[in-house]
Structure formats: structure tokens, C-alpha cells
């Protein structure tokens, strides 16, 4: 039993490595064509209903067929004034009345309140030489849907291609963030291993936990380059890259390895007297 207890720190190291690799593996599986679509469709069916997707599709169809009066009537009174004829025609020109080759649900969110439910559906329409992404927001009130938002954008390539994890067209800041995340991960992994095999270290379990977790979190959207800093969060795993699904961008994230830095500072301070003795 004592032998097993002595080896537990190494299990912590293994769990750390598996967790960090798992974030990237999850992203890879989420983007792999056959696995991801099956997993994505199963998750979509659990949070959405056929009525939700049908309502969103009806709003798209109203724009495609230029049914301005029906579209404006379906809009919630709070946004009805923003959809005039000119705006509607611009949206309809982006969609065109041509039948798309394929319509996919690229995203879905649902929020429940006491007496109403908000839905946000993202459709990807495939045409011969372009794609159109449409975001439809609507609210269920007493069994009746009301349109609360409608946004669309024409793309030269699909969301899967736009959000691919590649190096083309990326700025230096994203390359630096990728290098920093890899460095943080490697530094923390090595520190965790050194801590686990250091004999006689007091409060070793606390050190292992402090090293495995990052203080704060810095994240970068690999597609858009938009970055965010959460100084009060805890990054577990401490660094990695992951994706939420086949249509989603890759997110690069890392935390500051404060525990690892403090560990090496304390280790160097403890070794300083021995180095002075050897020099004298």
C-alpha cells in the first residue's frame, strides 16, 4: 500500500498529460467528418425540437421568396421597425431565390425563461460557388414564435473550411500565442514530473495541484484572431487547443503557470546554500 501511495504523484502527472491531450483529441474528433456529424446531430436532437428548426427554416424561406409582408408581420414588435423594404431586399439578394444544394444546421442555442423560450439557429446554405450563413433568433411566447433577429453573410468557402486549423493567413500574434501555449504546456509537464519524483518534498500534493492548474486564462479564436483574458478563472488543463464541433472555430487557450514558477523559485532558493558551499 505504501508503494502504491508513493507512486500516486506519477498518476497525477499521467492524468495531467491525458487531460491536456484530451482537449486537443476532443477537438480533432469533433472535426472528423464521420464521427463529428453523428455526434453533432445526436447532441442537436437533444436540445432542439423539429418545431424549432422548422420555424427557423420558415423565416429563411420567407426571405428567399421575398415575402416581405409575412416576414415583417412575424417579427417581434421591438425589431419590426428595423426591417424596412430596403433592408429586406438586401437580405433577399444575398440569399437569392435559387434553391440551395444543401441546408445544414451549423449551430443551435436554446434558453428557457419562466414564460418564454429563446432560440438561436444558424443555418449554412450551400450553393454551387458560395455558401451563405444565416442566423435566426426567435422567441416562443405562449406557443407562438416571434422573430427577434435575422443576420446573414455570404462566404466563399464553407464554415468547416473557414474554421480549419491551418497557418494560412494568420497574423504573428496567433503564431506567438500557439508557441506560448506549447511552451506553457511543456514547462508545466516537466515541472509536474520533477515535483512528483522529488523525494521528501513537503505538501507534495498541494504542489502538484498548483502546478497542474493555471492562474487566469488567455484564449484566442484561431479563425478570427479575437482574444480574451479571464484573470479570475482557473485554467484546467493549463494549455491546449480544442473545437466545439464541425462548424466551430478552434480555440487556443492557456493559463499562467504560477504554481510551476513558484516551485522552481523555491527549489533554486533551497539549492542556493549548497551551491555556495561548493564554490567555497
What pLDDT, in 10s, does the model give residues 43-61?
777 778 889 999 999 999 9
pLDDT > 60? residue 28: no
pLDDT at residue 37 in the model: 63
Q: Please give the helix or strand (H or E) that residue 190 lies within, else none.
A: helix 172-197
Q: Are 19 and 185 in contact (CB under 8 A)?
A: no
Evaluated on CA atoms 235, 237, 240, 244, the torsion sign reads negative
Please tell me the total number of residues recorded for the chain in this structure: 280
Could you report the per-residue pLDDT of 79-129, keeping only the tens digit for each?
888 888 888 998 988 888 788 899 889 888 888 887 889 999 999 999 988
Between these two residues, 135 and 209, which has the higher pLDDT value? 135
Residue 171 has pLDDT above 90, yes or no: no
Given this model, what pLDDT does residue 31 score?
52
**pLDDT tens-digit profile of 133-152?**
999 999 998 888 999 999 99
pLDDT for position 5:
46
Give tens-digit pLDDT for 228-262. 999 888 888 888 888 777 888 889 999 999 999 99
pLDDT higher at 164 or 175 = 175
Mean per-residue pLDDT over the chain, rounded: 82
Q: Which residues contact 234 (CB under 8 A, 6 or more apart)?
A: 213, 214, 215, 217, 255
Q: Which helix (H) or strand (E) holds 92?
A: helix 85-95
Give the rounded percent of residues in the chain with a pLDDT score beyond 70. Answer: 82
8-21 residue pLDDT tens: 555 555 565 656 55
- With 0-12 / 13-18 / 19 or more C-beta atoms within 10 angstroms meaning exposed / middle / buried, residue 191 is buried
Question: Minimum mean pLDDT among 24-33, 159-168, 190-199: which range?
Answer: 24-33
Higher pLDDT, 64 or 246: 64
- The reported pLDDT for the residue numbered 133 is 95
**DSSP β-ladder status, 227-235 and 214-221:** antiparallel
pLDDT band at 187 (very low <50, low <70, confident <90, very high): very high
pTM of this structure: 0.73
Separation in Å, CA 219 to CA 16, 96, 233, 235: 19, 37, 12, 10
Question: What does the pLDDT read at residue 47?
Answer: 79
- Report d(CA 126, CA 139) in Å as an integer: 26
Amino acid at each position: 500500500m505504501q508503494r502504491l501511495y508513493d507512486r500516486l504523484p506519477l498518476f497525477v502527472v499521467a492524468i495531467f498529460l491525458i487531460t491536456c491531450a484530451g482537449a486537443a483529441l476532443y477537438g480533432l474528433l469533433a472535426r472528423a467528418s464521420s464521427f463529428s456529424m453523428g455526434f453533432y446531430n445526436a447532441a442537436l436532437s437533444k436540445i432542439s425540437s423539429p418545431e424549432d428548426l422548422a420555424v427557423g427554416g420558415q423565416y429563411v424561406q420567407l426571405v428567399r421568396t421575398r415575402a416581405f409582408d409575412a416576414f415583417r408581420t412575424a417579427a417581434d414588435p421591438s425589431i419590426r421597425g428595423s426591417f424596412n423594404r430596403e433592408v429586406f431586399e438586401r437580405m433577399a439578394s444575398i440569399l437569392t431565390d435559387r434553391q440551395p444544394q444543401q441546408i445544414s444546421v451549423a449551430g443551435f442555442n436554446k434558453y428557457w425563461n419562466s414564460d418564454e423560450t429563446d432560440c438561436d439557429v444558424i443555418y449554412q446554405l450551400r450553393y454551387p460557388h458560395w455558401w451563405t450563413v444565416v442566423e435566426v433568433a426567435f422567441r416562443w411566447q405562449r406557443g407562438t414564435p416571434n422573430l427577434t433577429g435575422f443576420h446573414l453573410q455570404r462566404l466563399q468557402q464553407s464554415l468547416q473550411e473557414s474554421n480549419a486549423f491551418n497557418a494560412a493567413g494568420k497574423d504573428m500574434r496567433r503564431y506567438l500565442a500557439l508557441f506560448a501555449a506549447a511552451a506553457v504546456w511543456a514547462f508545466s509537464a516537466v515541472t509536474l514530473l520533477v515535483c512528483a519524483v522529488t523525494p521528501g518534498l513537503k505538501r507534495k500534493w498541494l504542489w502538484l495541484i498548483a502546478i497542474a492548474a493555471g492562474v487566469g486564462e488567455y484564449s484566442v479564436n484561431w479563425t478570427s484572431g479575437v482574444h480574451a483574458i479571464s484573470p479570475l478563472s482557473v485554467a484546467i488543463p493549463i494549455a491546449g487547443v480544442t473545437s466545439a464541433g464541425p462548424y466551430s472555430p478552434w480555440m487556443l487557450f492557456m493559463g499562467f503557470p504560477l504554481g510551476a514558477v513558484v516551485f522552481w523559485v523555491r527549489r533554486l532558493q533551497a539549492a542556493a546554500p549548497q551551491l555556495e558551499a561548493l564554490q567555497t
